[in-house]
A = this chain, B = another copy of it.
């Protein structure tokens, strides 16, 4: 949709943005041109949301815009990066102005919180799908990776787990879901300040998007270690406890967008200080082990059968 596309981009995605000084060329040419300061490295993340797969079909356009950027900022957070720019590939079945208005409002409401600039993208016709690539910076060699966890490190997670999964289960069973719970699913708040604060504290870090255990497995595999998780320590919200009688959704539900990280026990006072300073709960839920298996202990200290949660092969 050449001409239409151009007008679309002009109207909803170009106008009214504050120009960042490090953007040489933004939207409106064959590509964008940006500057990366000396001594810094560029961090790139990319995530696609497909309608009906990554968000319920009836999700509000505002929330789709918000979430498409938020899930990417969560990845930048996990690397400790400072967010700068993003690009958007939007595939739309049709061009409804009311939808676009709300979508772009959600997108820019989040972007402007971090003075991020949309610098380019593509708009195509097709089944609804949104791909965002976000770009951030870290000081040379400072990016937090999945690969630094060492035996004896403590395992921490921010915030509470499983709320988005509870909201999704509620929607799927057509139960009533509170606004607060629904917000955990539709408007995740990326932990950018936390990620940056953890840069020289955490030994490994990942964001929890696929579910706690699935993402912990990524750290364990990258680091060549194992873990023992105490399921009684999982941080659960009151809303979670109201809806769920066990920890399964907290262990394996997706869409948490919390940070899961490991740190040497020597760092525990710094972890506590960061939690206080950022007013963000950081809960120790277990320990990294030399033995390369993953154990999750129940209230009796007995290893849970993780096969039911899809982890039979680890």
A residues contacting B by CB (< 8 A) are 2-3, 6, 24-25, 28-36, 38, 41-54, 75-76, 78-79, 81, 85, 87, 89, 91, 119-122, 124-127, 129, 131, 133, 135-136, 138, 141, 143, 145-147, 205-207, 210-211, 214, 218, 222, 254, 310
Question: In the complex, which residue of chain B has the Cβ closest to the Cβ of A141?
Answer: B24
CB neighbours of A122 from chain B (8 A):
46-48, 131
Complex CA gap A42/B44 in Å reads 12
A45 to chain B, nearest CB (A): 4
CB neighbours of A218 from chain B (8 A):
6
Complex CA gap A44/B135 in Å reads 10
Known contacts A29-B146, A75-B31; decide if A46 and B121 are in contact (CB<8 Å).
yes
CB neighbours of A143 from chain B (8 A):
24-25, 31, 33
A90 to chain B, nearest CB (A): 8
A166 to chain B, nearest CB (A): 19
- Whether B48 and A43, one on each chain, are in contact in the complex, defined by CB atoms closer than 8 angstroms, is no
A306 to chain B, nearest CB (A): 13
Complex CA gap A227/B43 in Å reads 42
- Whether A42 and B36, one on each chain, are in contact in the complex, defined by CB atoms closer than 8 angstroms, is yes
- Whether A30 and B124, one on each chain, are in contact in the complex, defined by CB atoms closer than 8 angstroms, is no
Question: In the complex, which residue of chain B has the Cβ closest to the Cβ of A72?
Answer: B31
- Whether A33 and B24, one on each chain, are in contact in the complex, defined by CB atoms closer than 8 angstroms, is no
13 new A-B pairs (CB below 8 Å) besides A30-B45, A46-B122?
Answer: A2-B214, A24-B41, A30-B146, A31-B75, A33-B43, A33-B138, A38-B38, A42-B42, A44-B133, A46-B89, A89-B131, A126-B127, A129-B129
CB neighbours of A205 from chain B (8 A):
30
CB neighbours of A222 from chain B (8 A):
28-29
Question: In the complex, which residue of chain B has the Cβ closest to the Cβ of A49?
Answer: B124
Question: In the complex, which residue of chain B has the Cβ closest to the Cβ of A76?
Answer: B31
